[in-house]
Amino acid sequence: MRDRDRFQPDAPLLARARAALAGARQVAVLTGAGMSAESGIPTFRDALTGLWSRFDPQDLASVEGFSADPARVWDWYAERREGVRRAQPNAGHKALAAWARAHPGRMCVVTQNVDDLHQRAGQPDVVRLHGDILAEQWLDESTCRQRPRCDPAAADPGRPPRCMRCGALARPGVVWFGEALPEADLARAQRVANGCDLMLVVGTSGAVWPAAGLAGRARRAGAMVVIVNPEDSEIDAQAHVLLRGTAAQVLPRLLAPA
């Protein structure tokens, strides 16, 4: 059986979701790794292959792992960054962006992904809960005592880059194990969930918190929850409508003009 035939969302459920979407004043979208996987970006754990298969994830995505071997962690992220740069938005990214542009001010995407595919597809409003893999930040903000503070993007090249003025080490601008989500972004995501009429959850396992709690938050606030995923997720119980399929398969049909 071909992949495109394997997942065919139930037609009545698709029609129900389309009707709810058409009537929604505010739409929140939560996207996870499955959204980017269709563009060829492996999930974090799927990327632990080849040379990297012998490492514990904590060794490659924590302050402790970075401090133990900065060059190793920097090389790991350099490889992942190249994959992100090569990838292109898929039909799901494009369908979301087209709907948002056709309905200004009605959709906000909250993503767990650290790539820039939503932005490159033209999505106008994106909240990035887990950071930006293509950006850099200081490993320890307190290291820099310059005023104004040194810009991590201007650090001298290296593995990792280091600021020649203050000595600070740069690291990828992503949220690592043991770190809190950016406070302002999490607060915005929660406001979006509280205020939406419909929450569309796409390509997430529902295993990573606090992002996984946004669907339940939206439902408790009175929103319809629609989950798009080819497999079961840990938050399926929050869904009013489950559409089995991938983002690129389902979203163009769900979001197509009436």
The catalytic site residues sit at 130
Paired strand residues for 228: 202, 243
- In Å, what is the CA distance from 256 to each residue of 9, 18, 38, 52, 63? 15, 9, 19, 41, 44
- CA–CA dist 237, 175 (Å, integer): 27
CA 149 to chain centre: 28
* Joined tokens for residue 62: 């924590």
Instruction: Answer for the pair 108, 96: CB distance below 8 angstroms, yes or no.
Output: no
Helix (H) or strand (E) holding 87: none
Spatial CB neighbours of 226, under 8 Å, sequence gap ≥ 6: 17, 20, 21, 198, 199, 200, 201, 239, 240, 241, 242, 243, 254
Instruction: Answer for the pair 31, 111: CB distance below 8 angstroms, yes or no.
Output: yes
* Residue 182 CB neighbours (<10 A): 17
